[in-house]
Amino acid sequence: MLTFFAYANPYQQLAIMAKPTYFESGELEDGGFDLTTDGVCGYLHDVIYITGFVQLTTIISKKFWYIYLVILAFAAYKLLGFVKGFMSLGLEGPKEDEKSKKKREKMERKASRPKFARTTN
């Protein structure tokens, strides 16, 4: 039953993403999502491949079911990075190396100098 949902859910999501939409006149409005891109689409493909691998290898040993933990570990890793990104938002400024710091300071000094217009008589 677990592998059924591991196949059905990603296939359903991919079908929804790839479904084209049409105007009322019958013209194509949107051709659907490009399924070769990375991101969620790539993750869904990975789940399908891992599920196929687990189904085939559990013929050899039941311990291959633990490979599903890879999906959960990766999801937790991504979610943790996402949450950390929101928590550190605005707390720290961007790190600046010495060379770019000197260049920025030089540009600030140059901008703060008074500018004189030359006039010809």
pLDDT of residue 60: 93
Extents of the domains making up the chain: 2-91
d(CA 102, CA 95): 14
Average pLDDT over residues 95-115: 80
Return the CA Rg of the chain.
Answer: 27
- Is residue 91 over pLDDT 60? no
Q: What is the pLDDT of residues 28-51, one digit of tens each?
A: 888 887 777 778 888 888 888 888
Decide if 11 contacts 25 (C-beta within 8 A).
Answer: no
**pLDDT above 70 covers what percent of the chain?**
86
